[in-house]
Structure 1
Amino acid sequence: MVGVAIAIVENGQISFVKGYGVTQIGTADPVTPTTVFRWASLSKGVAGTLVAELAREGRLSLDTPVSQFQTTLRLPGGAEDRVTVRDLLSQRTGVVRNAYDEKLEEGQDPKLIRASLAQLPAFCSPGQCYTYQNVAFDAASEVVQRVTGRPYGDVVRDKLFLPLGMTNASVGRAGLESAPSWARPHRSRGQMLQTKDAYYRVPAAGGVNSSIFDLAKWMRAQMGGATAVLPSALLDEVHAPLVATPPHGPRGEADRALNAHAYGLGWRDFSYAGHRQVGHRGAVDGYRSLILFDPVERTGIAMLWNSHSSKPVGLQLELLDMLYGLPRHDWMKLDEKPAGPAVTVAAASVSTSPGRTGGGR
């Protein structure tokens, strides 16, 4: 680990916000509650929430075909005429998962990539199966721009971030690198990386940045803690499970403990120990992110870190075990020795209480 920031919301109130480690290997610059990280795919929950809010305002219908918004998305067999905005946000476009992410990472224009998706064979009928997307999902940013006539990032800022008091949150690379404190990207063993633009070019899928304190405000609002901005009916719409998400690829013990996987509008839906969970995880080169909460208990955890390490993922279940009074389990495997030479970083942490920072309400 290089640096990590953690926030806890308990019973609808921000109760713990703390940074550990450093923003950059080889320095003493501490991660604090206001250090800015990349959200990666946690950004999808912002897109889902924003589009659902525009629908609540009557500015669009979630059941309108995407093609009616004149986006650059083209799908096999002209399926953009049948795939609705709701299908788009719930990853039901019908093309193979992560379609053409490699082209995005090579630097190709996402608008041209979206148009080229029509050349792929259909994976399933539109709206009938889950296939996770980034390039296709970002057609949501075009929908927002068509409906509002404004840049996607500006609409996110004005309709969500500013009303929620998320003063360190932004969309785009400039928002990360202009922050007074921002975490540089690293590999797991401490090798520093260059910030990459690929997923910033699909802002609805991966373009958001913020501090852990702002991510805590976002999580609290998703629990119903800011109904003047995000009404309960809107949250029910956004979080409702719409399609099963069968696991794929290698999964660690902590991943296998979550079950009943489903996807809503940019949000994942799980079950743990008989309790419903809402959340998402994110990963771009040099950064990882996580949010998971029990919407009934209004308790959850948010985490941001600037390396590829997977160990922090287990902390979400350690929190839930405490919440539900379950026997303690070492989900992070802290007693296991690393596979190679580890990088040791002295912890440099700053604790923030809601009373001192004005964020806990």
Structure 2
Amino acid sequence: MSRLAPLCAIAFAGTAGAAPGIDDLMQRYDGPVPGAAVLVLKDGQPVFRRGYGQAVLEDGSAVTPASNFRLASVSKQFTAAAILLLAEDGRLSIDDPLKTWLPSLPAVADGMTIRQLLAHTSGLIDYEDLMDPADTRQVHDLDVLHLLEKQDRSYFPPGSDYRYSNGGYALLALIVGKASGSDFARFLRQRIFLPLGMDATVAHQDGVDDVPARAYGYSEINGRWQRTDQSPTSAVLGDGGIYSSIDDLAKWDAALYDERLLSADSLRQAFSPATATPEPDVPHYGFGWRINGDALWHSGESIGFRNVLLRYPQQKLTVIVLSNRNDPEPYPLALEIARRWRDAGP
């Protein structure tokens, strides 16, 4: 089969099998409140697939398995995959100096490499701390570059430590555009989303594309849900700008088990510990993936959204929770769903 052949059809007619108490865990998301979509995949098949609550409070639109949420930092695995695809194409090397592709960066970036951006070991200054708090305009990936061009300092020498960096992934998106001769959003669509049948997934650019079946983000403020769908950093694509659904993410998950998209070597690099981290839930970080024992996962948090994609490849078990609310962070929930499903047995 061609590595770019479309994913075989997955039947999503409804929830298969018994749900081991998942509805009880999801009660706070149900009803006329910002909701969530939950998917459990076992051996490549959906064994639980359900939406809770509302995607749009203003008109009462329900969350469904086709609802598209802003993935926030779950997007990073796609940014990393784009870099690995371009490395396979011979368009770049992950050990290229950063300034080979972004020469306008200051001298402090001289020792930084693409590999270090992927693993959060570059030492780049957080771009969020460089933004003018009085300026409410949205920044884009190119604006992140311009902010960093003015900073001839770093947190540590390149490669010597770990510090999670959204800015590093914004720069990776710019590199994808330069190396591909396209742009980041178009490259993702042509090389990842469409080949995998993720037809509704998009690196969203306001005024350029539309997000179908869009779930809007909300925050609970003074006891009332208020729409908080966008912040000044929501237009940055490389670190968190992808919208997708549990149905489309099932196709992404399936592609991570074989070579239909990425080669075995690229997958090994993505899933192997590239650096240790001081975070208790994240002993190691790969390329766009947090690694904890046999678990590969990533959370995504932005204003109005909290998401997690949790995989146990050895058990062929995946749990995805996407929510359009500011709280709670769903990683513990995904862990509990996975535990219950394992305990329930075949």
TM tier, smaller: 0.7 to 0.9
Which residue is equivalent to 2:225? 191
Query: Are positions 1:279 and 2:297 aligned together?
Result: yes
1:267 matched to which residue of 2? 289
- Partner residue of 1:212 out of 227, 246, 255: 246
User: Deviation of residue 12 (structure 1)?
Assistant: 2.8
Residue in 2 that maps onto 1:111: 142
The answer (yes or no) to whether the contact 1:5–1:18 under 8 Å persists in 2 is yes
Q: Deviations over 1:142-180 (max 9, x none)?
A: 111111110110000011001111011001144998344
Q: Which has the higher contact order (CA 8 A, sep 6+)?
A: 1
- Of 307, 316, 322, 1:298 maps to 316
| Structure 1 residues 101 and 281, CA gap change in structure 2 (3 angstroms) | farther
For 2:57, the equivalent position in structure 1 comes to 25
Q: Give SS of 1:63's match.
A: coil
Distance 2:209 2:176 in 1: 25
Mapped partners of 2:230, 2:215: distance in 1:
13
Relative to 1, partners in 2 of residues 1:210 and 1:236: Cα closer, same or farther, differing over 3 Å? same
The alpha carbon displacement at 1:311 in A equals 5.8
Q: Deviations over 1:246-275 (max 9, x none)?
A: 12xxxxxxxx6x4x521111111113xxxx
Which amino acid letter does the alignment assign opposite residue 209 of structure 1? Answer: Y
Contact 1:9 1:220 in 2 (8 A): no
- Between the aligned partners of 1:210 and 1:179, the Cα distance in structure 2 is 9
Q: Please give the alpha-carbon distance, in whole angstroms, between the structure 2 residues aligned to 1:61 and 1:172.
A: 27
Q: In the alignment, which residue of structure 1 is the partner of 2:25? A: none
Q: 1:65 aligns with which of 93, 97, 100?
A: 97
Query: 2:214 is matched with which residue: 146, 158, 182?
Result: 182
Question: Does the aligned pair in 2 maintain the 1:144–1:152 contact within 8 Å?
Answer: yes
1:325-344 deviation digits (Å, cap 9, x = unpaired): 49xxxxxxxxxxxxxxxxxx
* Equivalent residue in structure 2 for 1:132, among 164, 169, 192: 164
Q: With structure 2 as the length reference, what TM-score do the two structures score?
A: 0.80
- Give the number of aligned pairs: 308
Q: Does structure 2 retain, via aligned residues, the 8 Å contact 1:7–1:18?
A: yes
What SS does the corresponding residue of 2:233 show, helix, strand or coil? helix
Distance in 2, matches of 1:207 and 1:176, equals: 13
Superposed counterparts of 1:211-360, under 5 Å: 211-222=245-256, 224=257, 226-247=258-279, 258=281, 261-271=283-293, 276-310=294-328, 312-325=330-343
Aligned-pair CA distance for 1:70: 2.7
Structure 1: which amino acid aligns with 2:331?
Answer: V
Shift in Å, 1:313 = 3.0
Cα pair 1:199 1:205 within 8 Å, conserved: no
Q: Which residue of 1 aligns with 2:129?
A: 100
**How well do the aligned residues superpose, as a CA RMSD in angstroms?**
2.7
Does the 8 Å CA contact 1:90/1:263 hold for their aligned counterparts? yes
Identity %: 28
